[in-house]
Amino acid sequence: MLSGSQRTGKYLISKNLDNFFIDIRELTRFTLQFFKEVFVPPYELQETIRQCYKLGYKSLFLITSTAFITGMVFTDHSRPSLASFGATSWLPSFTGVAVIKALAPLITSLICAGKIGSNIGAEIGSMKVTEQIDAMEVSAINPFKYLVVTRVLATTFMVPLLVIYSGLIGLLGSFIDVHRNDQTSFTVFMYDAFSKIGYVEILSSLIRSVFFGFTIGIIGCYKGFTTTKGTEGVGRAANSSVVTIMFLIFLEEILLVKFFNPFYYG
């Protein structure tokens, strides 16, 4: 597979634009190949579970600390604005909506882009430049199935779970701030926090995080698989995985929020 930067010679428009469109074409092929391979046996279940543990479970500490701090700081920063018109009692429902609808899916996915996306890009990139992927191929093993399908499934499955977890931890952080200032009980806080959140909001966050998880996996793997030029290329693969994933997550967020808006407001 050619990455955009591998092409030299005559260009149709300009070097950068040509490479950009070639990258899009190759990424589309790569994604189609994923859907072709994912349903065909043999299924690498054991490796997928290992990747879920490696990519998901091992991100828990980072997700926990970030979600907790975000929830707490967000509530703390929102308090003065609401207090200015005597509406601090709205804080639980306000933060509930913010955390569940926006902060949890977006922040968790961006953290995963940095931690998991770069990890996948660098790991597969390093395997590519040291011929470990070729070694799999000549041993009659399908490297796409073993390396790509397992990782993409793991991120697609684990990111939504991490989003749910991060939402709950974010609300816990928010509760501590509210409780410290207003002595609100946990039950009342949670009741208020979920009072403005329905199934549609939760479902929308989960569906968006499935898209984000898939994007993290497929872009990380694609960047790794198209790595060239030795160790320098591995660093570039890790870096460009993160940049591309973050850009696509924001793009998807805009489009998906637009898509879900009619369901929220009827």
Partner 1 sequence: MKNTKHDKVVVIKDLYKSFEDNEVLKGLGLELYKGENIIVLGRSGSGKSVLIKIIIGLLKPDSGTVEVLAEKIHELDKKELIKLRLKIGFLFQHSALYDSMTVRENVEFPLVRNMRNMSKSKINQAVEEVLDAVGLTDTIDQYPAELSGGQEKRVGIARTLILKPELILYDEPTSGLDPVTCEEINKLIMKVKERYKTSSIIITHDLACAKQTGDRILMLSEGKFLRQGNFEEVFDTDDERVTGFYNYNFIESNEN
Nearer to partner 1, 9 or 266 (CB): 9
Q: How far is the CB of 142 from partner 1 (least distance, A)?
A: 8
**Given candidates 100, 113, 122, 127, which one binds partner 1 under the rule CB under 8 A?**
127
Residue 214 or 225: the one with the smaller Cβ distance to partner 1 is 225
Residue 84 binding partner 1, by CB under 8 A? no
The residue from 89, 97, 146, 248 that contacts partner 1 (CB under 8 A) is 146
Segment near partner 1 (CB under 8 A), from 138-146, 167-175, 199-207, 246-254?
Answer: 138-146
To 5 degrees, how large is the angle CA 83–CA 84–CA 86?
55
Q: How far apart are the first and last CA of the chain?
A: 46
Stretch that binds partner 1, among 99-107, 130-138, 153-161, 205-213 (CB under 8 A): 130-138
166 contact partners, CB below 8 Å, separation of at least 6: 63, 64, 66, 67, 104, 107, 108
* Sole binder of partner 1 in the list 130, 185, 195, 231 (CB under 8 A): 130
Burial class (CB in 10 A: 0-12, 13-18, 19+), 13: exposed
Per rule CB under 8 A, is residue 9 in the interface with partner 1? Answer: yes
Report if residue 12 touches partner 1, rule: CB under 8 A.
Answer: no
- Cα 41 from chain centre: 27
Q: How far is the CB of 20 from partner 1 (least distance, A)?
A: 20
- Write down the least CB distance from residue 138 to partner 1, Å: 4
The residue within the footprint of partner 1, chosen from 12, 13, 39, 42 (CB under 8 A), is 42
CA nearest neighbour of 112 among 169, 69, 67, 47: 67
53 counts as binding partner 1 under rule CB under 8 A: no
Looking at the Cβ atoms of 28 and 130, the one nearer to partner 1 is 130
User: Where does this chain touch partner 1 (CB under 8 A) — which range of 61-69, 84-92, 133-141, 165-173?
Assistant: 133-141
Nearer to partner 1, 4 or 92 (CB): 4
131 sits near partner 1 (criterion: CB under 8 A): yes
Integer Cα distance of 120 and 106 in angstroms = 20
Distance CA(50)–CA(86), nearest Å, equals 51
User: What stretches of 39-103 show up as alpha helix (H) in DSSP?
Assistant: 45-51, 60-83, 91-97
State the CB neighbour count (10 A cutoff) for residue 232. Answer: 11
Q: How far apart are the C-alpha atoms of 198 and 101, rounded to whole Å?
A: 10
Q: What DSSP designation does 12 have?
A: S
Q: Which residue has the tokens 């591309």?
A: 244
Binding residues (CB under 8 A) for partner 1: these are 8-9, 42, 127, 130-132, 134-135, 137-142, 146
